């Protein structure tokens, strides 16, 4: 089978294969991107580039039916969630079209000595490589390509091997929006070829969203070649419940946060840390709530839980579950596994020496821990190598502020879930990565913040 192929995870059917780019074609793609940066990227204005990005957003809206159907068959995303992703991607492009020209305006500096003036001018770096994952095929591209094309950088985009059809659809949108040749180039490259791309002198930076293993490999290559890198890696986000006036609402939020994208989201709530007096009630209600969402045909309008993205993903998750139980954890199943379709599972009794305690479960598996008090809850929340997102539920505003400050994560959401927004920066600490995407900070990663001092 080809390295790039659409394999429907619901049926196992290989729908279409795509040829990998040749080395000669890859060299040409890099040269075209470099030419676009040196020409179009340096001779047009941010406002002109922003209007092209606005067209990209509008085309996502116009083609939402086609785009949603593609990712349902590529990675099994439930149809309604596929529509939501397309709409969110469109909003991201329009957000940057609205805001980036102002962000890129010269920033004056007040001089402490001497005459004249000084400014910071944000200019493009050059050609950037984006390495994207399969779980959000449009959203991930939007938050990388949108701001960077307005800056004037050119984009080489390597999508996940199981998302070649959405990759082609995105390329067509950029072409139809009026971007010049080379400004945005989709490349069906292998991992071995990507090492050469990062090393190429024309490429000035790389952004990867993916696994910890992939991030480590890319960071090593980028470091060796002195290239700027942004990494958005895994997460095992804590959901800390300290107090509530409405346990049913908390449970509803917890279930939604765990099952979004069939549990295959980096910043999903995965570890539920509950104070002792609420623990038993939470486990019972949470398990029952998750049981209401059984996996179903992702093409159905009412599906909320589809298959895992591939057979390999399903086998990985099963191996993790088996290992967790073998090491003493209790599994509360809500249904049966059918191939790549997993019914939600709740894990409890996870001992400190259980290896699953420090792993990320990428699927509809929730781990629940008992906490003695606030200090114990924070300690358990931070007892993980990751630090992407986190969630805190409490009726005490001072406690919320205190715990939010102590949690080691790039993002903290208090008394709400699924609250990502185009204006909110996204990223983590520890082994969850470096840098930020989305919002104002996402438009400030791959720029030359050039000082111009004039007498």
- Which two tokens mark 445? 């990663």
Q: Cβ neighbours of residue 313 under 8 Å, at least 6 residues apart?
A: 9, 264, 340, 362, 363
Q: Which pLDDT score is estimated for 1? A: 54
Contact of 365 with 317, CB cutoff 8 Å: yes
Q: Cβ neighbours of residue 156 under 8 Å, at least 6 residues apart?
A: 29, 30, 33, 127, 128, 129, 130, 185, 187, 197, 203
Residues 414, 419, 420, CA angle at the centre, nearest 5°? Answer: 120
Containing 335, the helix (H) or strand (E) segment is none
- Alpha-carbon span 414 to 430, nearest angstrom: 21
The yes-or-no answer on residue 212 being catalytic is no
- b/e map 138-151, b = 16+ CB within 10 Å: bbbbbbbbbbbbbb
The yes-or-no answer on residue 202 being catalytic is no
| Residues of the chain where predicted confidence (pLDDT) is lower than 70 | 1
Q: In 3-state terms, what secondary structure has residue 345? A: strand
- b/e map 339-371, b = 16+ CB within 10 Å: ebbbbbbbbbebeeebebbebbbbbbbbbbbbb
Q: Which pLDDT score is estimated for 2? A: 75
Contact of 172 with 141, CB cutoff 8 Å: no
Q: Where are the alpha helices (DSSP H) in 76-211?
A: 79-103, 139-151, 164-177, 191-199
Residue 344's nearest CA partner among 293, 403, 307 is: 293
User: What torsion do the CA atoms of 351, 352, 355, 356 make, to the nearest 10 degrees?
Assistant: 60
Q: At what angle do helices 276-291 and 247-259 cross, to 10 degrees?
A: 50
Q: Cβ neighbours of residue 333 under 8 Å, at least 6 residues apart?
A: 343, 345
- The catalytic residue among 74, 165, 232, 374 is 232
- The catalytic residue among 74, 266, 359, 360 is 266
- Alpha-carbon span 219 to 207, nearest angstrom: 10
Q: Which pLDDT score is estimated for 5? A: 97
């Amino acid at each position: 089978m080809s390295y790039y192929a659409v394999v429907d995870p619901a049926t196992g059917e290989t729908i279409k294969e795509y040829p990998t780019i040749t080395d000669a074609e890859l060299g040409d793609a890099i040269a075209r991107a470099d030419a676009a940066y040196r020409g179009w990227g340096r001779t047009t204005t941010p406002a002109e580039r922003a209007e092209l990005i606005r067209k990209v957003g509008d085309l996502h809206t116009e083609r939402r039916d086609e785009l949603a159907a593609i990712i349902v068959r590529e990675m099994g995303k439930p149809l309604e969630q596929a529509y939501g992703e397309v709409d969110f991607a469109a909003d991201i492009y329009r957000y940057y079209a609205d805001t980036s020209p102002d962000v890129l305006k010269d920033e004056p500096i007040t001089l402490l000595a001497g005459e004249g003036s000084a400014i910071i001018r944000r200019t493009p770096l050059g050609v950037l490589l984006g390495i994207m994952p399969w779980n959000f095929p449009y959203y991930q591209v939007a938050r990388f390509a949108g701001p960077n094309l307005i800056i004037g950088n050119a984009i080489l985009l390597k999508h996940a091997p199981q998302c070649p059809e959405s990759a082609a659809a995105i390329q067509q949108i950029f072409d139809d929006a009026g971007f010049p040749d080379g400004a945005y180039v989709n490349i069906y490259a292998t991992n071995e070829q990507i090492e050469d791309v990062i090393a190429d002198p024309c490429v000035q930076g790389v952004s990867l969203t993916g696994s910890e293993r992939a991030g480590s490999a890319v960071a090593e290559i980028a470091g060796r070649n002195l290239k700027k890198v942004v990494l958005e890696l895994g997460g095992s986000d804590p959901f800390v419940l300290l107090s509530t006036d409405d346990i049913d609402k908390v449970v509803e939020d917890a279930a939604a946060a765990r099952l979004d994208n069939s549990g295959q989201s980096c910043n999903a709530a995965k570890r539920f840390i509950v104070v002792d007096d609420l623990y038993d009630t939470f486990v019972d209600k949470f398990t029952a709530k998750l049981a209401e969402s059984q996996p179903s045909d992702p093409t159905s309008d009412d599906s909320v839980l589809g298959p895992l993205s591939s057979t390999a993903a399903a086998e990985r998750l099963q191996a993790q579950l088996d290992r967790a139980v073998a090491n003493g954890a209790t599994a509360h199943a809500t249904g049966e596994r059918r191939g790549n379709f997993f019914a939600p599972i709740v894990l409890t009794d996870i001992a400190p020496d259980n290896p699953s305690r420090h792993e990320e479960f990428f699927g509809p598996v929730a781990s629940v821990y008992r906490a003695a008090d606030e200090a114990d809850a924070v300690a358990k929340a931070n007892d993980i190598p990751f630090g992407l997102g986190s969630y805190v539920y409490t009726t005490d505003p001072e406690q919320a502020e205190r715990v939010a400050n102590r949690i080691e994560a790039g993002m903290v959401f208090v008394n709400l879930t699924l609250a990502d927004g185009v204006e909110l920066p996204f990223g983590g600490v520890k082994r969850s990565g470096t840098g930020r995407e989305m919002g104002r900070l996402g438009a400030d990663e791959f720029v030359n913040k050039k000082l111009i001092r004039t007498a």
